[in-house]
Amino acid sequence: MSTITLSVAGKIAKITINRADKRNALNKAMWQQLADFCDQLANDIKPRVVVIQAEGDKAFSAGADIAELTEMLASPELLQQNNDIVQQAQLKLQRLPCVTIAAINGACFGGGLGIALCCDFRIAASHATFAITPAKLGLLYSIEDTQRLVQTVGLATAKAMLYLGKAQTAEQAINNKLIHQVVAANELDSAVQSFIHDIVAASGSAIQGMKQTLAYLMDDPTLQQAEIRQLSKQAFDSKDFKKASQAFITKTKVEFD
């Protein structure tokens, strides 16, 4: 079995990390597979929602694969090559035009938290824990990862997480705005499904445009103001707006594609 898989059912796609016996640790091949899946999702599958989840109940991902990391630590060149793939995969995930949800079922450390921060929403089981630990290895967190963290939790909390590298509980994480919802472990799947239900009830084209608008406001260099303003203008002529307008006039429920 592949250590990371993609499944699609209707409007919903799920990427699953399948290394429960290794606490869903991430190796170079898995990062490359994640990048490839993101290309498929963006260019071919085009779902409304993508859920990132993991097997087992111990870890969403404990971070880097220790055996592989040990080998790479002896070679700065290998370490840089791996980092390049990690950054590429995370950027592709961040820029997916659909809504992305991380379903966090346990320890979410290092690269695992990097993946979660690339998602639009993070829903965690109550036993989940979170940490970023490069300072304990004498390493820096990347500019891109640091930016996502600061944009999510704010500068003061980001400093504490990066400088100290301490793990925090799910309750601490939600208080720090690192995650959006905490539920009992046996309710994680149903909470994600409820979230998906609400998302697909809204206009997919509107959400896609809003996601691009937010990315522009968060300094995504690939987006220009004129492009975003044009998206806003085009929305008035969109199929979804026409459908919603008609439903409003006729006082009926709108159902988007």
Q: From residue 40, give the alpha-carbon distance in Å to each of 36, 103, 165, 214.
A: 6, 21, 34, 23
Residues of the chain where predicted confidence (pLDDT) is lower than 50: 1
pLDDT in tens, 21-42: 999 999 999 999 999 999 999 9
- Looking at the fold, whether 189 and 210 belong to one and the same domain comes out as no
Residue 193: its pLDDT value, please? 98
Residue 86: its pLDDT value, please? 94
- Global pTM? 0.94
- Looking at the fold, whether 60 and 176 belong to one and the same domain comes out as yes
- Looking at the fold, whether 187 and 138 belong to one and the same domain comes out as yes
- Looking at the fold, whether 181 and 220 belong to one and the same domain comes out as no
Residue 209: its pLDDT value, please? 96
Residue 128: its pLDDT value, please? 98
Expressed as residue numbers, the domain containing 14 is 4-199
CATH number, domain containing residue 192: 3.90.226.10
The domain total for the chain is 2
Residue 66: its pLDDT value, please? 78
Q: Which of 163, 178, 199 is the last residue of a domain?
A: 199
Query: Quick check: is 256 in a domain?
Result: no
Q: Are 122 and 93 in contact (CB under 8 A)?
A: no
**Gap between the Cα atoms of 129 and 85, Å rounded:** 25
**Gap between the Cα atoms of 239 and 209, Å rounded:** 14
231-239 own/partner pairs: CB under 8 Å, 24+ apart: 235/205, 235/206, 235/209, 238/203, 238/205, 238/206, 239/205
Q: Are 60 and 26 in contact (CB under 8 A)?
A: no
Residue 8: its pLDDT value, please? 98
- Looking at the fold, whether 124 and 178 belong to one and the same domain comes out as yes
Return the structure tokens found at 46. Answer: 């085009």
Query: For strand 4-9 and strand 12-17, is the pairing parallel, antiparallel, or unpaired?
Result: antiparallel
- Looking at the fold, whether 141 and 216 belong to one and the same domain comes out as no
- Looking at the fold, whether 57 and 148 belong to one and the same domain comes out as yes
